[in-house]
Amino acid sequence: MLEPFKERIYVTRPVFPTIEEVTEKLRDIWDSKWLTNNGPQHTMLEHELKNFLKVPYLSLFNNGTIALMVACQSLRLSGEVITTPFTFAATPHVLSWNNITPIFCDVDAATMNIDADKIESMITPHTTAILAVHVFGTPCDVEKIRDVADRYGLKVVYDAAHAFGVEIGGNGIGNFGDISMFSFHATKLYHTVEGGALVMKNEHVKQRIDLLKNFGIKNEEEVVMPGINGKLDEIRAAIGRIMLNYVEDERLKRIRLHAIYDEELADVDGVTLMPTCADNVKLNHQYYVVRIDEKIFGRSRDFVYDEFRKFNVFARKYFHPLCSEFTCYRQLNSSRAENLPVANVIGQQVLSLPMYGGLTEEHVRKICAILKSFRRRN
């Protein structure tokens, strides 16, 4: 008989630096007498992250959502923006806060990312951009998206909140599109407690973004645009500098756990594992997501989710409900289920399993054994 875990196993756990490392950095900040507004920690973290992510320009933010709002402002997006319903609420909300209508495009059945082949059919005279998400760190079809955007003169913005450190052929994922956003929220692979960044191709765009995130203040005499407060403070920038030393170790631990999940679940009928990517793609293994096909597995995703809780396993239904099902978006024409057949199936099937460096191999094997015990053969 499988016993429940003694302690609760959550879907993720933030990576903590040692308290000593934080105390040491806090001393530096106290000595500097500088708490926010482009201090030394901020400057150093921007530089270090730019190198880590292999991108030419980067601006830090107090969170990923404000960063994405500023990205839309900086590109002067308006009208309609084509995006995916299979994402975190922040993605379409950022469009709404910019008075832009999100237009939901269906997703690809394998990658769960926006289906690049369907984008063209969603374009209208009001379309100004594509806002795509590298869901669970799997890269979007960046070539096809660039192609359709170029043919219609659209901007491309990536929500790369899940894709920290992901590379295609040695090229940082942030180099695709006009602007990419990273989130440094505590639950992400790399974090600054709360925080985020935009990465961009040229200095001119960075200058505009840096004005927008600081109230549009150019100097003591001039305020040149209606900006917002998107600044990251020195304390969180310092924690971010420490966390850069942890990210590769955490990634390697997750690669190992990922392989154990794959091994244990490979032959379970009705369970689809994470998509495999081209050999030249470096993934970050932030999440481990399966899909449960009720017809084959004999049990629904919701059944599995509920039963897991009895074993003290707190999996999460990322992303369910779809953004197109939210009360604030479901009246949109593009939210109709007929427009989003693949996303609607995936939304009923996905389940994020526990994934963080602190899990042991035994934890993962037991989680898999519990999952397999739910299966009902016909």
Where on the chain is the footprint of ligand PLP (CB under 6 A)? 63-65, 87-88, 90-91, 133, 159, 161-162, 183, 185, 196
User: In the complex with ligand PLP, which residue's Cβ is closer, 82 or 370?
Assistant: 82
Q: Cβ(66)–Cβ(196) under 8 Å?
A: yes
What does the DSSP 8-state code read for residue 338? G
User: In the complex with ligand PLP, which residue's Cβ is closer, 41 or 91?
Assistant: 91
User: In the complex with ligand PLP, which residue's Cβ is closer, 69 or 119?
Assistant: 69
Least distance between ligand PLP and beta carbon 267 (Å): 31
- Residue with token string 């999952």: 371
HSE-up of 156 (CA within 13 Å, CB side)?
28
User: In the complex with ligand PLP, which residue's Cβ is closer, 91 or 349?
Assistant: 91
User: In the complex with ligand PLP, which residue's Cβ is closer, 115 or 123?
Assistant: 115
Q: Where are the alpha helices (DSSP H) in 134-293?
A: 142-152, 203-212, 234-243, 247-265
Please give the angle made by the CA atoms of 170, 231 and 47, to the nearest 5 degrees: 35
User: In the complex with ligand PLP, which residue's Cβ is closer, 65 or 344?
Assistant: 65
d(CA 155, CA 319): 25
Beta bridge partners of 182: 197
Least distance between ligand PLP and beta carbon 269 (Å): 30
The full length of the chain comes to 378
Q: What are phi and psi of 50, to 5 degrees?
A: -55, -45
Least distance between ligand PLP and beta carbon 89 (Å): 8
d(CA 161, CA 243): 16
State which amino acid sits at residue 214: N
Least distance between ligand PLP and beta carbon 373 (Å): 31
Least distance between ligand PLP and beta carbon 363 (Å): 24
State which amino acid sits at residue 199: V
Which stretch of DSSP H or E encloses residue 182? strand 179-183
CA distances from 328 to 67, 97, 124, 322 (A): 22, 12, 22, 12
User: In the complex with ligand PLP, which residue's Cβ is closer, 91 or 128?
Assistant: 91
Listed in sequence order, the residues at least 6 apart from 139 whose beta carbon sits closer than 8 Å to its beta carbon are 113, 163, 166, 168, 173, 176, 277, 281
User: In the complex with ligand PLP, which residue's Cβ is closer, 155 or 162?
Assistant: 162
3-state secondary structure of 290: strand
Least distance between ligand PLP and beta carbon 131 (Å): 10
d(CA 146, CA 201): 15
Least distance between ligand PLP and beta carbon 195 (Å): 7
Nearest to 87 by CA among 110, 112, 108: 112
Q: What is the signed CA dihedral for 296, 299, 305, 308, rounded to 10 degrees?
A: -110
d(CA 328, CA 323): 9
User: In the complex with ligand PLP, which residue's Cβ is closer, 73 or 91?
Assistant: 91
User: In the complex with ligand PLP, which residue's Cβ is closer, 64 or 240?
Assistant: 64
Q: What are phi and psi of 182, to 5 degrees?
A: -115, 145
Least distance between ligand PLP and beta carbon 266 (Å): 27
C-beta nearest to ligand PLP: residue: 64
Least distance between ligand PLP and beta carbon 209 (Å): 16
